[in-house]
Amino acid sequence: MCGIWALFGSDECLSVQCLSAMKIAHRGPDAFRFENVNGFTNCCFGFHRLAVVDQLYGMQPIRVKKFPYLWLCYNGEIYNFKQLQKQFGFEYQTLVDGEVILHLYNRGGIEQTASMLDGVFAFILLDTANRKVFLARDTYGVRPLFKVLTDDGFLGVCSEAKGLINLKHSTSLCPKVEPFLPGHYEVLDLKPSGKVASVELVKFHSYKDEPLHAACDTVETLPSGSFDLETVKSNIRILFENAVRKRLMAHRRIGCLLSGGLDSSLVAAVLLKLMKELNINYPLQTFAIGMENSPDLVAARKVAAHIGSEHHEVIFNSEEGIQAIEEVIFSLETYDITTVRASIGMYLVSKYIRKKTDSVVIFSGEGSDELTQGYIYFHKAPSPEEAAEESERLLKELYLFDVLRADRTTAAHGLELRVPFLDHRFTSYYLSLPAELRIPKNGIEKYLLRQSFEDSNLLPKEILWRPKEAFSDGIASVKKSWFSILQDYIDQQVDDLLLEKAAEKYPFNPPKTKESYYYRQIFEKHYSGRSNWLPHYWMPRWVKATDPSARTLKHYKSATQE
């Protein structure tokens, strides 16, 4: 996990523009570098480093003797760099996993490069020999990337939008900053002036398709075409374990977030099992956060005792949570209601990990709810086919919601997040299964995933079959939800009259509640006029919901009252 930043064709003094790059210093607390591009006085790279792999030679932009005309700035982890080296006979100059991007590009161009990378990434690749700039981002947008491109060809690229919004440019008072689309690469021509012109934007991978890199994966070819239940369950276990195993690549200590829900518990249990098999000689630290006696703390305690992790509990009160709201919204760069709610707990636990422990590489359960239809409202899907379509929509928008939350809250404290549920092979296999296999059954969501691990003894039965509890709800008591605590506080901060006139003040995504108005006010304070970064609020479907919390849905109420 790092912070990347680059400018091409800047009209302003680079030493002034470089101040913007310092806005993302939290992403790489170990070292930073600015470097001008030879022969292009108005182009430069900025890099903030979190040293996780090859601590000696990992500074960027990466340049190697074999390709002196290539410059690479990337954020991410490429899990198959050794397999690709073996398959194609690459000779690496460093131990940095990202060096493989240079070799792949030299061998087969940008399309093959992006398609063959098994991992999470956002990168800027400059080819001065052919005067090309390439941008690319992984399938689900696990690693963030933003860009600004003006009409006259000034390009700015950064891991977070906050590193671009204050850039100066002669022809634009307020250049349009936008997220770079996941699963795409862009080709731009580099002019002698340092300015660029976009040539094409290409989608290189659809998450339903088996990725091109599957051919050189460590897992054997799975039985295909058979949807026999036992075969399916076995394949799910094999691919999930493989997803966790490949993410063990690190020279820094590994930890795991543990809410006590199915997803984080499965990740923690498989992670600890594999760490033992690989003789990793330190205990796995697991981290739970909540208010006193919250459901998540109780459940996480059970899981930690069962798997034998070194467990840490972070207990916070409503005042600490409320005090964190502004810094959380600044970190997130969004005003989405459920994202802000869920981020507060994750932000505070990340803060604890950074201050009190030496764990840096943090595993988490993001992506499972979208992939395996884990949200409560999936019980109301009109048909398996519509449920499958909704699952795909949620995966497509992950970079706006849960993946955004998970990246920003951990990166704000210099931690690197790893999300095995979003492994390319695991997700493409799961999505290839018949729609009726993936829907909730017997009133239980994620039924197939739970069933797949039923005989593994990885988790206690009551955890494996624990009903869905949204992270922002599970951290508070059942008697009073976290969203109710927030709403009670905000009710005193926002006047009724302000809410009545909200649509006039904020015509795009107008706030409908005092809570959403409060978050929007803070967002506009830091990112005025950028409300279109969020195309719409996250809300459940097929139910008449006025609030995104699962605790407001009938299915949740009946389940907790039984």
Residues annotated as part of the active site: 2
What the block records as the tokens of 156 is 């700015």
Cα angle at 245 between 387 and 309, to 5 degrees? Answer: 95
Q: How many CB atoms lie within 10 A of CB 248?
A: 16
C-alpha pair distances (Å), 101 with each of 3, 132, 310, 487, 553? 18, 15, 37, 47, 46
Q: Nearest Cα to 295, choosing from 97, 445, 466? A: 466
Q: How far is CA 176 from CA 3, 167, 169, 491, 510, in A?
A: 20, 11, 12, 34, 21
Is 289 marked as binding a ligand?
Answer: yes
Report CA dihedral (113, 115, 116, 117) to the nearest 10 degrees. Answer: 90
Query: Around 296, how many Cα atoms within 13 Å sit in the side-chain half-sphere?
Result: 31
DSSP for 28-39, written as a single string: -BSEEEEEEETT
**What is the separation of C-alpha 548 from the centre of its chain, rounded to a whole number of angstroms?**
20
User: Which tokens is 410 given?
Assistant: 């951990």
Q: What is the DSSP string of 503-535?
A: HHH--SS---SHHHHHHHHHHHHHSTT-GGGSS
Within its chain, how far is the Cα of 428 from the centroid?
A: 18
Q: Residue 414: left if φ>0, alpha if ψ -120 to 50, beta else—which one?
A: left
Q: Say if residue 61 is preceded by a cis peptide, omega within 30 of 0.
A: yes
* Residue 291 DSSP one-character state: S
Beta partners for residue 122, in sequence order: 75, 137
Phi, psi of 64 (to 5 degrees): -125, 155
- For residues 555 and 562, give the distance between their C-alpha atoms in angstroms, rounded to a whole number: 11
Residue 364 counted as an annotated binding residue: yes
- Gap between the Cα atoms of 221 and 343, Å rounded: 38
How many Å apart are CA 345 and CA 337, to the nearest integer? 14
- For residue 14, say whether it is annotated as part of any ligand binding site: no
* Binding positions for ATP: 257, 289, 364-365
* Binding positions for L-glutamine: 97
* Binding positions: 97, 257, 289, 364-365
